[in-house]
Structure 1
Amino acid sequence: MLHRLTHRQLEAFRAVIETGKVTAAAEALHTTQPSVSRMLSDLEDVAGFGLFERRGRQLFPTSEALALYEEVERSFVGLAEISRVIEDIRHFRRGSLLIAGMPALALKFLPDVIAAFTRAEPGITVSLRARSSQAVLRHLSSQQFDLGFAALDTDHPAVTRRPIFTAPMQAVLPPGHPLANKEQLEAVDFHDQPFIALGSEIITRSETDVFLASGNARPRLVAEAQLSASICELVANGAGLSIVEPVTAANFAAAGKVITRPLHPVQPFRYDLLLPALRDPSRVATRFLEMVEAQFKAVLDPG
């Protein structure tokens, strides 16, 4: 009868080499002595040479067996390392996460989440790229990034886009501004006020223009900026007032640098989650997203 090489035969061979006895090898492998003897015999048939010499109650490996053992041991050491890697991955002790995010989230919101995540999962390495929303879409389409965060009205066939959180746009005012006495601001409240606008290439700019036009408001444009954070810094320094997305507004308000007020009617702003369409999110990415969603609720819906 022809036999083929099996991993179990090599386990038995290794155990006998290390213990010197079939009975001890059987105990180590949680099997019977006859089973170990049979596996050794099968291995000798496959190898075509003898593996052990019996002297009294002990087995002594032949020189051929010792040469084979060196290679078997290297293989088992490699398997042990692979097992450790599997265990590390299972328990989030090893892995990486590559994230692209729009500046509104990448300047503070995502770093806050990443800091908490790496404290909870210290074996995971996280890389963050701050990019425009369109650039985030391009990055995710390469399938090299794990997660993307943007605000978009376009799609890409290689990217799955879905809303992750929606909250109202906010008016931002310098501390002490008279309009802070109002609970909410309407378009007419911005008429003839010094105003800092988003750059004309930003999607939200046109939505803000429509809101202001609905109340025939013509604020005095004193500056433009691409980033909500830059606008909030200008507002904090008394350059004027503005309307920005809610996360940045909340961050600056929490720092006491600006005052925020809701708009009437409400102007919703949607943050999008982008995923590579050609693969499912990893377990690490899924764990990170749970913390992102919790952070959105903490920042924008604390009640």
Structure 2
Amino acid sequence: MPITHRHMKVFSAVIEAGSVSRAATRLNLTQPAVSIALSNLEAELGFSLFHRSKGFFAPTTEALHLHGEVTQSLLAFARMHQRADEIRSGAVGAVSIAANGALAINFLPKVIADFQVENAGLSVELKVHSSRQIASLVSGGQVDIGLIDTPVPVAGLKAEVFRLECVCIMRDDDPLQAVSVVRPDDLSGRCLIGITGDHTVDRQVDSVLSQARIDVKRSVSSAYFAIARNLVAAGGNLSIIDPINGKARLSDGVLWKPFEPLVEHELAIIVARERLSSRSTDTMYEMIKTAVQQVRSA
């Protein structure tokens, strides 16, 4: 019969209590059950653990030597059990997220802070890459969750796409701050900061302006929506950007207005299709999703 956790608990309790009867009380067992467990342990070990004679019961020298090792084993088992409970409840582990610079600056820090309030034992790593790089990292299992612009450029990913209504941003001293909704006519002759690289948002804006026969100045562009906002704050121009960056409260003197007709930005939350996720990753995914939905409905 192999040595079990029960054998070690009984042995340790008898040593510490000084008698079979007191050990039985401590363990909520019968005295015969404790005696049988001790006998089985001695049989497995091949030597006696206690001196037994009428009116005398005491541990052998061998038992005292063994007791320290048994105590360490019981402590290790207790630690393992505690860690298993923590893992089961999602209280330990790590989550890795990748996003472009704009989302990493103005959106994810608050989500991560909220996550850690409820998951203090978990570590979170936030990486910044391009959408194509993020898709490759998630597909290869190097990152748990990615946030990218559509279209999703890599196979083997599960993507949840959110369509977000873009907004027009301006400084708080801009003449357009008085209007409730910005329309193409309001942009005539103004400098409109674009997004570098034939971005889908800019293509939609150009189509809207072309249909309305409105001319704007396109002398400045940036790689990210967040940088476009910084340029607006510094120079007094306008930009039509995603609501995550446009509606962010940054105390930078920039405000936003709805823009009509509708211009949408598509944001995808991606995970590897074939990879089993942890509870912590699932929790983070849901928190990111909720935060995106809150921006969409704001």
Q: TM-score, normalised by structure 1?
A: 0.85
1:250 maps to 2:265:
no
1:197 maps to 2:191:
no
Q: Note the 1:132-143 alignment, pairs <5 A.
A: 132-143=130-141
Match of 2:68 in 1: 70
Counterpart contact for 1:196–1:222, Cα < 8 Å = yes
Tell me the C-alpha RMSD between the 2 structures. Answer: 2.6
Counterpart contact for 1:159–1:274, Cα < 8 Å = yes
Amino acid in structure 2 at the alignment position of 1:110: L
Q: Deviation per CA, 1:161-190, whole angstroms, max 9, x where unpaired?
A: 112x43201112233433444433334543
1:265 maps to 2:261:
yes
Provide closer, same or farther for how the CA distance between residues 280 and 155 of structure 1 changes in structure 2, counting only shifts above 3 A. Answer: farther
Partner Cα distance (1:50, 1:158) in 2: 62
Partner Cα distance (1:58, 1:25) in 2: 16
Amino acid in structure 2 at the alignment position of 1:154: V
Partner Cα distance (2:134, 2:3) in 1: 51
Q: Note the 1:119-130 alignment, pairs <5 A.
A: 119-130=117-128
- How far off is 1:225 after superposition? 0.5
Unaligned segments of structure 1, at least 5 residues: none
Q: Deviation per CA, 1:25-74, whole angstroms, max 9, x where unpaired?
A: 22222221111111111222222222211254453222332333332222
Q: Say which SS state the counterpart of residue 49 (structure 1) adopts.
A: coil
Partner Cα distance (1:185, 1:89) in 2: 50
Pick aligned residue for 1:48 from 46, 49, 53: 46
1:20 maps to 2:13:
no
Q: TM-score, normalised by structure 2?
A: 0.87
- How far off is 1:143 after superposition? 1.5
Partner Cα distance (1:179, 1:41) in 2: 89
Structure 1 runs (4+) greater than 6 angstroms displaced: none
Partner Cα distance (1:58, 1:129) in 2: 68
Counterpart contact for 1:107–1:130, Cα < 8 Å = no
Amino acid in structure 2 at the alignment position of 1:255: S
Pick aligned residue for 1:211 from 205, 208, 211: 208
Match of 1:112 in 2: 110
Q: Say which SS state the counterpart of residue 167 (structure 1) adopts.
A: strand
Amino acid in structure 2 at the alignment position of 1:226: A
Pick aligned residue for 2:219 from 212, 218, 222: 222
Partner Cα distance (2:201, 2:107) in 1: 19
Counterpart contact for 1:250–1:300, Cα < 8 Å = no
Provide closer, same or farther for how the CA distance between residues 103 and 58 of structure 1 changes in structure 2, counting only shifts above 3 A. Answer: farther
Match of 1:100 in 2: 98
Match of 2:273 in 1: 277
Pick aligned residue for 1:288 from 284, 287, 295: 284
Provide closer, same or farther for how the CA distance between residues 58 and 207 of structure 1 changes in structure 2, counting only shifts above 3 A. Answer: farther
